[in-house]
Amino acid sequence: QVQLQESGPGLVKPSETLSLTCTVSGGSISPHYWSWIRQPAGKGLEWIGRIHASGTTKFNSSLESRVTMSVDTSKNQFSLKLHSVTAADTAVYFCAKVFGAGYLYFDYWGQGTLVTVSS
């Protein structure tokens, strides 16, 4: 059973960089695709992007200019960086496993971590 766990600071200052890591257990990060999804309080889900274990990425066009993702197969982890954050980036951030290439839906999810952007 694959399990995912997000970690990172819960508070980030405006204009700074939000950094989160997702640790995968119960299975290998290779050769799968992985995603980040966020959810502002009381609102719906927004896909941020996905990364393959090889490092190839694709981002939501609305966030693409501010997002970077990376993967560390030796640690079975993948990471998200969101630059130049504002209060609008305050949300619960989920990491999730993509079912497969060409099937970009999510069969395993982390529990989510709340990130607040505030000075």
Partner 1 sequence: EIVMTQSPATLSVSPGERATLSCRASQHINSNLAWYQQRPGRAPRLLIYGASTRATGIPARFSGSESGTEFTLTITSLQSEDFAVYYCQQYNNWVTFGGGTKVEI
Q: Which parts of this chain interact with partner 1 (CB under 8 A)?
A: 35, 44-47, 58, 60-61, 94, 96, 99, 103-107, 109-112
C-beta of 16 vs 112, nearer to partner 1? 112
C-beta of 2 vs 53, nearer to partner 1? 2
Strand positions, DSSP E, 8-82: 11-12, 18-25, 33-39, 46-52, 57-59, 67-72, 77-82
Nearest distance, CB of residue 16 and partner 1, angstroms:
26
Nearest distance, CB of residue 55 and partner 1, angstroms:
18
Nearest distance, CB of residue 9 and partner 1, angstroms:
20
- How far apart, in whole angstroms, are the C-alpha atoms of residue 100 and residue 71? 17
- How far apart, in whole angstroms, are the C-alpha atoms of residue 1 and residue 108? 9
Q: Is 76 left (phi over 0), alpha (psi -120 to 50) or beta?
A: left
C-beta of 14 vs 40, nearer to partner 1? 40
